[in-house]
Amino acid sequence: MEGTNYLTVAYLGMIAAIAIWTWTVVVRSRRIEARLEAVEASIGIDPAQADELSK
């Protein structure tokens, strides 16, 4: 039983870690997207042409 507890703690630690990681990445992606939209709108860049800029 002790071994199973040990394993459960290890599993839970890793599940929490990947959940936090995934959540952070998704939030970062959405935040930067919102920021970009705001900046591009303020200088009047058409999002369809924006990819050309980043090259």
Partner 1 sequence: MNMRQRVPEIFLGLGFVGIMSTLYLGMNWAPSVSINAFESPAAQRIFYWHVPAAWSAFIAFGVLFIGSALWFFKRSPIGWRLHVAGAEAGLACGLMTVWSGCVWGAAEWGTPWDWTDVRLNTFGLLTLLALFLVLGRQSQPDGVETRDTFSTFGLYGFVLVPLTYIATRIWQIRHPGPVIAAGDDSGTLQSSMALVLLIGALSFTIFIIGHMMISMRITHLEQRLEQAQKALDGGN
18 contributes a contact to partner 1 by CB under 8 A: yes
49 contributes a contact to partner 1 by CB under 8 A: no
For residues 53 and 45, the answer to whether their CB atoms sit within 8 Å is: yes
Going by C-alpha positions, the residue among 24, 55, 53, 23 that lies closest to residue 39 is 53
Phi, psi of 51 (to 5 degrees): -60, -30
27 contributes a contact to partner 1 by CB under 8 A: no
24 contributes a contact to partner 1 by CB under 8 A: no
14 contributes a contact to partner 1 by CB under 8 A: yes
Instruction: Give, as one character, the DSSP assignment of residue 1.
Output: -
Return residues touching partner 1 (CB under 8 A): 3-4, 6-8, 10-11, 13-15, 17-19, 21-22, 25-26, 28-29, 32-33, 35-36, 39-40, 42-43, 45, 50-51, 53-55
